[in-house]
Amino acid sequence: MAEPQALTDDLVAANRILYYHKIVDGYGHVSFRSPSDPDHFYMAAAVSPGRVVADDVIALDLDGNIVNREKRPTYSERFIHSEIYRARPDVHAVIHSHSPTVIPFGVTQVALRPVFHSAAFLHTGAPVFDTLAVPSATTPLVNNAEIGKALAAKLGANSVVLMRGHGDAVVAGDIREAVSRAIYTEVNARLQLQALTLGGPVQYLGEAEAAAILQPNLGRVGGILEGRKIAALAEARHVQIAPHLYCGPVVGAANIQLAACCANFLILEGIERWQGFHAEILRRPIRWEEGYVIPPSEPGLGVELDEAVARAHPYNGRALHLQMAERPIVP
């Protein structure tokens, strides 16, 4: 089972970054879901996060068994990962840590809530999981599938679940986002504690302020330069961008150019597999491998319209694919 080396490199880097930021210590683990087989995920064998290297990375199935190589000691809490992947198809990376400042929020009645923009993902809530509710649990550890299932159920659709007297689990659409969330969950906990000690009511971030991902559409925002400006404004607020695509492959090609020059780029929207008419209308179709677009090296947008194909498919309708309305539509 070959996976893009870049993901394994990200996994190793994630362990080191989280160790540097003291989110993990001798314990804690990071995983990513296989992009080619959603029923498998990758994480290090039982190695301290600060010492993980690429050779430690193993593949596991959703029952927590190693599938790609000889037996190696595994983390006893791998069921945190396997059961969250089973319950949440949208999750592609999971981090478990004993993030120290988060612990008090798991043992008191004070809910962890976002106090600054970098932790806006907390606005849906961070429920507290308690192993005392699971009959087979004898410690606060999530060391079997039953406890993992109960943890995933408590996580629900949120990004973070706290674990009473233990730590937390953070989920995201990819490793980089998960690392960012794990770090900012800890920072938010620290800042919230400080805010609470000052006394008086705390004004938490509201839902309307809590956008974590912007989806500018280059067909609407005014072009590539404007899209880049939006991305820069978003970056300054720790917000990611995922260029939206409701047009054809030319805007798709423009999105690729924008994505390639934005550090806060998250994910690219495609048109199915860029095949069929969307491939024919370009002299050279947009290329991708294993879920990753390969940015073109040709000048301009890197694609060239096939005029003959375009002429052979005239559009005689009057309506646009999506109509602009002069006034906001009130449903």
Phi, psi of 46 (to 5 degrees): -65, 85
Structure tokens at 310: 């375009």
**CA neighbor of 2 nearest in space, from 57, 75, 78:** 57
Structure tokens at 236: 């300054």
Distance of CA 262 to CAs 20, 138, 234, Å? 25, 47, 10
Q: Is 94 exposed, middle or buried (0-12, 13-18, 19+ CB in 10 A)?
A: buried
Q: Which amino acid is at 211?
A: A
**Torsion 119-123-124-128 (CA) sign:** positive
Catalytic residue among 77, 83, 177, 186: 77
Residues contacting 112, CB < 8 A, separation 6+: 102, 105, 122, 126, 160, 162, 185, 188, 189, 192
304 flagged as catalytic: no
DSSP-assigned states of every residue in 257-296: HHHHT-TTB-----STTS-THHHHTBSSPPPEETTEE---
Q: Please state whether beta strands 93-97 and 29-33 pair in parallel, antiparallel, or not at all (unpaired).
A: antiparallel
Active site residues: 77
